[in-house]
């Protein structure tokens, strides 16, 4: 058994086992790997979302709503949303108030699990560059910029420089 892994035995309905095996085959991975991904998704997204009242909404609906709003309102909505998420990040997700923990939470929860963006982080000496790539268009970039600037101030008291393009947000910070 690889280090950090444990074996467990569970009883499951036959239809669920068949669905898991079919999905694993279609992805070209083992059923065990798919179970790990599924449980990870549940523990790190579904359970916290149930506690916070999060909704699952299709991307095209979000894009349609954002496109109806002026850019300055979208940025303001992002900033206001981030102000309320500090307690969620700390209490429900157990995020510590330090740069590495916040970056990890953003990458895992907002990036990989919630699919807001794909995060990449580069460090050059004391300079940090965080790139958020997505496929949601300019208004989502504007929302993310407002959200992230506010979130970094709320969580870490760090003002970040930011810029955005059609499907990218760049955040810069000097440690």
pLDDT of residue 87: 67
- Does residue 162 lie in a domain region? yes
pLDDT of residue 8: 83
Q: How many domains does the chain have?
A: 2
- 70 vs 74: CA distance, rounded Å: 6
Residue 71 and residue 129 in one domain: yes
- Does residue 8 lie in a domain region? no
Q: Which residues of the chain have pLDDT under 70?
A: 1, 52-53, 86-94
pLDDT of residue 94: 67
CATH of the domain at 150: 3.90.1520.10
Residue 28 and residue 63 in one domain: no
- Does residue 81 lie in a domain region? yes
- 81 vs 94: CA distance, rounded Å: 19
- Does residue 48 lie in a domain region? yes
- Does residue 7 lie in a domain region? no
Domain boundary among 6, 36, 52: 52
pLDDT of residue 119: 97
Residue 91 and residue 167 in one domain: yes
Residue 89 and residue 170 in one domain: yes
The DSSP code sequence of the chain is: --TT---------HHHHHHHHHHHHHHTS-HHHHHHHHHHHIIIIIHHHHHHT-----HHHHHHHHHHS-HHHHHHHHHHHHHHHHHIIIIIS---SSHHHHHHHIIIIIIIIT-S-EEEEEEETTEEEEEEE-SS-HHHHHHHHHHHHHHHHHHH----EEEEETTEEEEEEE-
Residue 63 and residue 33 in one domain: no
Residue 98 and residue 132 in one domain: yes
**Which residues span the domain enclosing 114?**
59-174
Residue 41 and residue 127 in one domain: no
Give per-residue pLDDT as tens, 3-38.
888 888 889 999 999 999 999 999 999 998 988 888
Write the CB contacts of 57 (distance below 8 Å, at least 6 apart in sequence).
Answer: none
């Amino acid at each position: 058994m690889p280090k950090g892994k444990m074996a467990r035995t569970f009883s499951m309905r036959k239809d669920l086992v068949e669905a898991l095996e079919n999905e694993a085959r279609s992805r070209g991975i083992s059923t065990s790997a798919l179970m790990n991904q599924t449980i990870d998704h549940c523990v790190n997204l579904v359970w916290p979302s149930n506690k916070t009242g999060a909704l699952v909404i299709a991307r095209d609906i979000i894009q349609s709503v954002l496109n109806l709003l002026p850019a300055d309102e979208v940025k303001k909505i992002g900033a206001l949303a981030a102000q309320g998420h500090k307690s969620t990040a700390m209490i429900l997700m157990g995020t510590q108030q330090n740069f590495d923990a916040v970056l990890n939470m953003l990458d895992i929860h907002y990036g990989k699990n919630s699919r807001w963006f794909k995060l990449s982080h580069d460090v050059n000496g004391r300079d940090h560059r965080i790139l958020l790539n997505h496929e949601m268009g300019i208004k989502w970039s504007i929302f993310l910029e407002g959200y992230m600037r506010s979130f970094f101030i709320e969580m870490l008291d760090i003002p970040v420089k930011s810029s955005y393009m059609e499907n990218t947000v760049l955040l810069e910070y000097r440690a």
